[in-house]
Amino acid sequence: MSDAMINSEDNLMVITTHARAKTDIRHIHEFLGCHTSERWLNLACEHLPLLLQDHANCEKKAAGTAMNLIFRYEFHRTLQERLAQLVREEMLHYEQVLSLMKERGIDWHYLPAGRYAKGLLKHKRTHEPAAMVDVLIIGAFIEARSCERFGALADVIEDEKLARYYKYLLKSESRHYEDYLMLARSITDDSIDERVAFFRDVERELIQSPDDELRFHSGTPSDTLMANGIPPITTQSKDQPAKVS
């Protein structure tokens, strides 16, 4: 039975109760230009509610971005098929993360996007098919980094259910990375290696350089962020209305 055919909460119970075969993500580590820093991992572990809120935002955005591509490039059959599956999976993940937030008493909290996706997309070329190649390569990096961070977090967080859930996500997120890269290669006769290398450098810089915010894809926590701390998010603030993005 496919994931999408199971009720998301039943599915979540199954996947977070039973151990799954380990997913090998060595190819993800080889693809990316760097590993996540210990400083980011330590801070993320101290702010799991914030991380879950940003994770929910990311799943929804991943589905939305893929849906936009489906509408924009409707001539491309393989893209339609792969991204339709990806949209289904990202929306299932979205529902699952909402369930995990509910279980932990984390209300929906407005959290603006960090610098990461914008920092990649600002380098997108504007003419076709170069723009499409770049968007697909950027998609591959975002999925690969998600995968790398789920793997790293699963090894260190004490919340066992969440750790098992992150391990479960490795399989689909690593496939999403491969699909985006395959689609980027499929739409051009030219080699995409140079653009992949370019975005690898941009992505590594975004991950390694100091960042004043903590997000799922944020950079290394800056000294300012470490000194000032992050206000906890556990309940919805009354003066900050929930915002539907």
Which residues form the interface with Fe ion (CB under 5 A)?
Answer: 59, 62, 90, 93, 143, 173, 176
CB 223, min distance to Fe ion, A? 32
**For residue 213, what are its two tokens?**
């915010």
Min separation Cβ 141 and Fe ion, Å? 12
Shorter beta-carbon distance to Fe ion: residue 143 or 211: 143
Give me the least distance between CB of 207 and Fe ion, in Å please.
17
Whether the Cβ atoms of residue 24 and residue 186 lie closer than 8 Å to each other: no
- The helix (H) or strand (E) run that includes residue 83 is helix 77-103
Closest CA to 65 of 168, 171, 176, 172: 176
- Which of 150, 225 has the CB closer to Fe ion? 150
Q: What residue type is 193 in one-letter code?
A: D
Kindly tell me the burial class for residue 59, based on how many C-beta atoms sit within 10 Å of its own C-beta (0-12, 13-18, 19 or more): buried
- Closer of 35 and 88 to Fe ion (Cβ): 88
Q: Measured from the CB of residue 227, what is the shortest distance to Fe ion in angstroms?
A: 33
Nearer to Fe ion, 94 or 199 (CB): 94
Give CA torsion, residues 88, 121, 173, 234, to 10 deg.
-80
